[in-house]
Amino acid sequence: MDDRLPPDGSVLEALQGAGLDHRVVRTRPANSPEESAQLQGIPLEALLRTIVVRRGADDYLFVLVPGGRRLDWPKLRAHLGVSRLSLPDADEARAATGYERGAITPFGAMRAWPVIADASVLGQTLVAIGGGARGVNLHLEPRRLVEALGADLVDVTAPG
């Protein structure tokens, strides 16, 4: 097993358990989303960042945001019907997910938090999502990704 995967292999176990066709793509850790997309040979828009959002004490969710776009907080708050959301710091995000910032993925996270995927992900033929370690990405078909995660597909981003 590659030493850049989580020690328990939880990401790959979660993918296999979901029956998802995927390809693991390993690169050197990138310094930017643009560099990561280039190293993987994909368009920036196909690179999905997994953002951990805090709704309250011990209440988080994952938001999948395509490269080149930014999270639109008013849209996300309106979708969730809340007036306040926040981003946890790196230590809190790791405690909530089991992953380091820059390698967070909903697959194999310590708890199965709800997932929201920006609606624009379906405009891609293939997307890349973090594989649980820096420089490890998973390439999947976007509709299957959304289905496997039980994600809400919602317009929650704006051009970045």
Between 110 and 119, where is the model more confident?
Answer: 119
Q: Measure CA 27 to chain center.
A: 17
- Expressed in angstroms, the distance from the first to the final Cα of the chain is 36
- Sequence-separated (6 or more) residues with CB below 8 Å from residue 74: none
In CATH, what number does 10-159 get? 3.90.960.10
Looking at residue 16, what is its pLDDT? 78
> Is 70 exceeded by the pLDDT of residue 3?
no
Total-model pTM: 0.91
Looking at residue 64, what is its pLDDT? 98
Between 66 and 18, where is the model more confident?
Answer: 66
Percent of the chain with pLDDT over 70: 94
56: part of which helix (H) or strand (E)?
strand 47-56
Q: State the pLDDT confidence band at 10, using cuts at 50, 70 and 90.
A: confident
Q: State the pLDDT confidence band at 39, using cuts at 50, 70 and 90.
A: very high
